[in-house]
Structure 1
Amino acid sequence: MSDLVIIVRVQAKPGLEAALVAAQTALVALSRQQPGCIAYELHEDLNQPGKVVFYERWQDRAAWEKHLAGPHSAAFKAQAGDWIADLEMLEMRQVG
């Protein structure tokens, strides 16, 4: 498979959980409209508000990189980038 799977784990700073999740939810709707987006999902931890995991599947790396360079990604970073306490991103491929 040539698909690119991105898993991003994010933790909001204390007191900013709801604001960050709201901004992330808006990003999901815009990202799903991007060319090459196969899946773009946001999941919040049931026991820890503001701890989320993004599951993204892109047609290829070029589509993902175009998404990252797009205006919606830049607007999100400008608005909510400082609300993030911790972030881990994995670039993956499906093997089974």
Structure 2
Amino acid sequence: MSSPLTIVALVQAKPGHETALVAAQAALVPLARAQAGCLSYELHESMDRPGRVVFFERWLDRASWERHMRGPHMDAFRADAGPLIGAFELLHLRQVA
């Protein structure tokens, strides 16, 4: 059996698009949480840098996360809000302690 997958996504909005990007990201939260295999899905915004957000996600396994990433809600997000993203980093993590 595989272990849970933790995802940390670090995102910075392009200048002038902070509010729109954060709103689009927030709309993803209930959709992701409703998916099979989602253990937790949280969005946090920096208090010092508007438009700098961190997603903390925990998935039952990699397959669950991959289904989420291929879902129509993610396709729509990438089409609509993808151009608002200035910087993006994705970490795939496993808990070691």
TMscore range, shorter length: over 0.9
The amino acid of 2:53's aligned partner reads V
Q: Give the alignment of 1:1-96 within 5 angstroms.
A: 2-96=3-97
Instruction: Give the secondary structure class of the aligned counterpart of 1:38.
Output: strand
Kindly state the Cα deviation for residue 29 of structure 1 after the two structures are TM-superposed.
1.2
Task: Measure how far apart 1:51 and its partner are.
Answer: 0.1
Deviation at 1:81, TM superposition (A): 0.2
Normalising by the residue count of structure 2, what TM-score does the alignment of the two structures yield? 0.97
**Alpha-carbon separation, structure 1, partners of 2:75 and 2:30:** 15
Identity %: 59
Q: Find the aligned partners of 1:8 and 1:94 in 2 and give their Cα distance.
A: 16
Q: Deviations over 1:36-83 (max 9, x none)?
A: 000000000001100000000000000000000000010100110000
Q: Which amino acid aligns with 2:57?
A: E
Separation in 1 of the partners of 2:30 and 2:80? Answer: 16
Secondary structure at the residue paired with 1:14? coil
Secondary structure, aligned partner of 1:15? coil
Equivalent position SS for 1:27: helix
Q: Distance between the aligned counterparts of 2:35 and 2:56, measured in 1? A: 15
Aligned length: 96
Runs of 4+ in 1 over 6 A off after TM superposition: none
Q: Point out where structure 1 has 5 or more consecutive residues left out of the alignment.
A: none
What is the alpha-carbon root mean square deviation over aligned residues? 0.8
